[in-house]
Chain A
Amino acid sequence: MIIKNLLKQYSGKTVVDGVSFEIPKGKVVSLIGPNGAGKSTVMSMISRLTSPDGGIVEFDGKDITKWNSKDLSKKLAILTQTNNIQMKLTVRELVAFGRFPHSGSKITSEDEKIIDDAINYMELKEFEHRFIDELSGGQRQRALIAMVIAQNTDYILLDEPTNNLDIYHATNMMKIVRRLCDELGKTVILVLHEINYAAFYSDYICAFKDGKVSKFGTVEEVITKENLSHIYNVDFEILNVEGRPLSIYY
């Protein structure tokens, strides 16, 4: 996936300005930056939820806006942060919707197996027949991830997956992200607020500031005292924990 010169304006104000970078396949890439830096907007453009005002997102060698929406939904899945589903669906019914791009309304026995695997993978077997509106925030988030797994796409895009989760569930979520990449070979792109989660669980980091890419590279290249202080306008200290840069800010 290659992103070239993306531009997005809302009522005359430029929120994303000439963003270019390339997303390496089979890696975890985190987009970080302060509020309003444009990371979520970039995310929704590379997932075709909004169309850019300029520039191009090249996916598998083809402009993403030129893709057939149905074909694309077999290759790329996006989970936005505003998934306040109020529907009374069971976990299994929700996960089954992940198969919709592949099989439509006819769920085959092969689909059933994929759904089973996704539910087991997210350890949701015991909640399978519970309604999602009866679950806790962490369980619901896992159910949505299970749906994305059932969708079986090469690319998984998650917009702030740790939002509204406590430390335990947020950390588990990040471990799942890592497993999606390491065990299932997915390319995972995340928008994250917690820099340390980004530093510990991703391979590459793209840091945004004022609608532009401030720094893109491996974790070690991006998470430095100078870079972070520049991006967030806050003093940073970088420690080294388990070979990963841990940032402290105050």
Chain B
Amino acid sequence: MLAALSVFVGVIDVTPKKLLSGNIHQLEIFVISRLPRLLAIICTGMGMSVAGLIMQQLCSNKFISPTTGATISSAQFGILIALVFMPTSTLWSRAIFSFAAAIIGTWIFVWFIQKVQFKDVVMVPLVGIMFGNVIGGITSFIAFKYEMTQALSSWLVGHFSLVLKGRYEIVYLTVPLIILAFLFANHFNIVGMGKNFSKNLGVPYNVVLFAGLTISAMITASIVVVVGSISYIGLIVPNIVTIFKGDKIRGTLADTALFGAIFVLLCDIIGRIVIAPYELPIELVIGVLGSLIFIALLFYCLKNGRKSITLSEILNLSLFKNTKGENAA
């Protein structure tokens, strides 16, 4: 934990220094661009991984995340609706549309997987990816029709290069939402153990389930509005932390948030170094790194045999990667 913290602090220290000395010596750049970017990265990393953690726990399925649960694509759909029907809309009003769409999209998805009880855990994320692609398709169609593809593309591929003072403050919403998630962590755990289990302990199953999904949808949406789509973090980070720390949310939430922040920070630095002075969109870096880690994760699970992972899951993985590749392209 402490070592992780020091790495984290070290990274903050190094990045601005390099930028300050490399560029003109102006504190302004730091305040207007560097600091917001750093804060946005941290909020994104924490938010996406916590959102993924909550969704995985509530649905007791390790393969659900904002990406595989149609949350991100719904949030994008919401932004497009705002762009099309309210061309003059501010960031805030777009955010509200995006929140609403993300929440509704996630609810529909979870309601659906609860109605149709899938025997195979892998079916659930597959359905989620399909559902997400359907929404994505509708989004693209509307975007084409109203000639909005250009504007929309900035939300399809997540990147931090447009994070400037005055344009990113919505990501701060993730912080109170994460705190809220921490307060209800035990509720989420109990609900994750099933309907009967939660009824026995006097926890209202449906209320907590949908409240939890709402929290993670709002976290996701507030990130999508500012940064764009960032996949994989919500899937990988909670899974890695779980392997080492277990499933008790109270105990893992802080680690998950911290690890998520570090992961995104590292990816961002890599993205900026590889083709400096230009930069790769964060979505691309995370897509490449994330899929590699995810494969490693699958092999780890195979070796340890905690979950019986079948060939179909690996197939699912490659399918998943293809989808990502298309998005990034």
A contact set with B: CB distance below 8 Å: 47-49, 68-74, 77-80, 82-83, 85-90, 93, 97-98, 100-101, 104-105, 131, 133, 151
Contact = CB atoms under 8 A, between A and B. Distances in A.
Contacts of A133: 306
B202 A73 contact: yes
Contacts of A101: 201-202
B69 interface: no
Interface in B249-275: 250-251
Given A100-B186, A105-B250, A88 B242 contact: yes
A89 B248 contact: yes
B193 A72 contact: no
Interface string B281-313: 000000000000000000000000010000000
A82 B196 contact: yes
B178 to A, nearest CB: 16
14 contacts: A49-B200, A72-B202, A73-B201, A74-B202, A78-B200, A87-B192, A87-B247, A88-B242, A89-B247, A93-B251, A98-B201, A100-B201, A100-B203, A151-B201
Specify which of A72, A80, A82, A88 lies most central, judged by the most chain B CB atoms within 10 Å of its CB.
A88
Contact of A77 (B190, B200, B242): B200
A49 B248 contact: no
Contacts of A49: 196, 199-200
B248 A93 contact: yes
B193 A85 contact: yes
A89 B57 CA distance: 12
Main secondary structure of the interface of B (DSSP, over half): helix
A161 to B, nearest CB: 14
B107 to A, nearest CB: 23
A85 B191 CA distance: 11
Given A68-B202, A87-B57, 14 more contacts: A49-B199, A69-B202, A70-B202, A73-B202, A77-B200, A78-B199, A83-B196, A83-B197, A86-B60, A87-B193, A89-B247, A100-B203, A133-B306, A151-B201
A87 B186 CA distance: 13
A43 to B, nearest CB: 11
Contacts of B194: 82-83, 85
B185 interface: yes
A163 B57 CA distance: 27
Given A97-B190, A100-B190, A133-B306, A88 B247 contact: yes
B325 interface: no
Contact of B186 (A48, A90, A105): A105
Given A105-B185, A133-B306, A97 B201 contact: yes
A59 to B, nearest CB: 14
B209 to A, nearest CB: 15
A89 B60 CA distance: 13
Interface in B199-225: 199-204
Given A97-B186, A100-B190, A105-B186, A87 B60 contact: yes
Nearest to A134: B306
B137 interface: no
Nearest to B200: A78
A100 B60 CA distance: 20
Contacts of A104: 186
Contacts of A89: 189, 246-248
Contacts of A82: 194, 196
A93 B204 contact: no
A104 B187 CA distance: 9
Contacts of B199: 48-49, 69, 78
Given A100-B201, A101-B202, A93 B246 contact: yes
Contacts of A131: 246
Contacts of A88: 242, 246-247
B186 to A, nearest CB: 5
A87 B188 CA distance: 12
